[in-house]
Structure 1
Amino acid sequence: MWSPEDTYAIARIDLPQAGTHGWQVRMQRRGVKYGKFFADGLHGGVPQSYQAALNWRDELVTRLAEEENAARICRRSPRNSSGVVGVSKVRVTAANGTGYWFWQATWCPAPGERRCVKFSVKRHGEKQAFRLAVEARKSGTGGL
């Protein structure tokens, strides 16, 4: 009657002793639980209550996806000061105690592998070192 894709997060509830018949939508995202029951009697029968549950579930999935996408686009992590994922400014201290600033690009070319390349602020200047790090991160290569 209904395929598994159609019933994602939707379960049929039939409890004749309690007079409860309908569809239950239950879902959890990021630790928040969502749920709603759609009684057959209030919606005009089994097909109508199922359709109401399906519509509510689809609207919820769409809304949660939009919120997740907006959160990823609009909010910058407090741990990321460059504004570009995988690009950070690092300070390396030489053996003699002198500190040098670099823009560093980090990426994973394969599972379990990590690569990084640094571009000297002293050699390239602040803006150019940053641009080189961003480009290296995008291309996933050491670049130069």
Structure 2
Amino acid sequence: MWSPPDTYAIARIDLPGASTHGWQVRMQRRGKKYGKYFADRQWGGPKQAYLKARSWRDALMERLEDEAAGARICEKSARNSSGVVGVSKVAVAASNGSMYYFWQATWCPEPGQRRCVKFSVRRHGDRQAFRLAVEARRQGVES
């Protein structure tokens, strides 16, 4: 049996009882689902249907990458209470019930990667921990 070289987000569907044979492309980005079915019969066989499915998937991924490149990069959310994009105050409950507070800086050095660093309010004080997080975010985004 022929095996396709690249099946990311592509699944083979074979349901002989329902006379269903083809390739299903499914993916989800930012909570939105995308999908399309490519029937062997419609496209002239499994290989041709697979090639159509892969072509559709590649075009979809390129479109989604283009949309993501300009989206949400440096806009302050209404949920942001720190006033600085990518900097937030985090509370962590320890197993003994104690609460620990941190200022956290988050950024994406490359698509698909996320970096995060936390600064303890207990160790640095609230203002200094916040300043350190802002500086870490600035340096992370610039590098």
What is the TM-score normalised by the length of structure 1?
Answer: 0.56
CA–CA separation in structure 2 for the residues paired with 1:14 and 1:136? 51
Instruction: Look at both structures and tell me which one has the larger radius of gyration over its CA atoms.
Output: 1
1:85, CA displacement in angstroms?
4.2
Which residue among 104, 107, 114 is the counterpart of 2:119? 114
CA–CA separation in structure 1 for the residues paired with 2:11 and 2:137? 45
Closer/same/farther in 2, CA of residues 37 and 136 from structure 1, 3 Å limit: closer
1:81, CA displacement in angstroms?
8.2
Match of 2:68 in 1: 68
Note if 1:28 corresponds to 2:28. yes
Match of 2:45 in 1: 45
Q: Secondary structure at the match of 2:77?
A: coil
Contact residue 105 and residue 136 of structure 2 kept, 8 A: no
Closer/same/farther in 2, CA of residues 30 and 19 from structure 1, 3 Å limit: same
Runs of 5+ unmatched residues, structure 1: 88-104, 120-132
Q: Secondary structure at the match of 1:54?
A: helix
Match of 2:56 in 1: 56
Indicate the percent of aligned positions where both proteins have the same amino acid: 52
Contact residue 23 and residue 38 of structure 2 kept, 8 A: yes
What is the TM-score normalised by the length of structure 2?
Answer: 0.56
Runs of 4+ aligned structure 1 residues displaced above 6 Å come to: 133-136
User: Between Structure 1 and Structure 2, how many residues are aligned?
Assistant: 110
Q: Secondary structure at the match of 2:34?
A: strand
Runs of 5+ unmatched residues, structure 2: 89-102, 107-114
